[in-house]
Homo-oligomer: A and B are copies of this chain.
Amino acid sequence: MSNPVVIDAAPGQSYADITREFEAPVEAVFRAHADPDLFARWIGPRGLETKITAWDFRTGGGYAFVQTDRKGGAFEFRGVFHTVRENELIVQTFEWLGAPDQVSLDAMRFEDLGGGRSRLVDHSVFPSVEALEAMVAEGMERGLTEGYEKLDELVGGE
């Protein structure tokens, strides 16, 4: 059994707190966010192939990737890293180019739970209540659930 993703989004608010525990050390979970080859192997729902097109993982850097499905559909994403603090914090912007200029901001905190376990808390802020609701409707939970299951497999969790 994989650990659950808990999405805490108060009704009428434009942000969500997304919490997920890992049966792996914080360093491994952070590295899966820092290393583009690892990142490409877990981000997003199953059935999509991810290609990193830009990667500069540092405070002030940025990223871009494209995901393709089996029908040939392509989904492009990009953002900038406001803060990168190793094994502790990533603050980054996020834009799906299918909804241009609808930029969200994620603050991801990596917590060491001891005993080789860790917790990731993502405070995800959207430009409006509607933008968050649209993201939920478009399968946010499935994307997170399946993505983190793939991350489990990478870092040797359950």
Tell me how many residues of A have a C-beta within 8 Å of chain B.
Answer: 26
Residues of B within 8 A of A83 (CB): 95, 101, 103
Asked if A32 is at the interface (CB within 8 A of a chain B CB), the reply is no
Contact residues of A: prevailing secondary structure? strand
Pairwise interchain contact A128-B15, C-beta atoms closer than 8 A:
yes
Say whether A156 faces chain B, with CB atoms less than 8 Å apart: no
Task: Give the interface segment out of A1-9, A74-82, A134-142.
Answer: A74-82
Given A12-B12, A14-B125, A127-B107, decide whether A91 and B81 contact each other with a Cβ distance below 8 A.
no
| CB of A68 within 8 Å of the partner chain | no
**In the bound complex, what is the Cα–Cα distance between A153 and B128 (angstroms)?**
33
B-facing residues in A67-96 (Cβ within 8 Å): 79-83, 89, 91, 93, 95
- Closest chain B CB from A137 CB (angstroms): 20
Q: Which residues of B contact A62 (CB under 8 A)?
A: 60, 80
Query: Cα distance A101–B93 when bound, in Å?
Result: 14
A55 to B128, CA, bound (A): 29
Q: In the bound complex, do residue B95 and residue A82 qualify as a contact, i.e. CB atoms below 8 Å apart?
A: yes
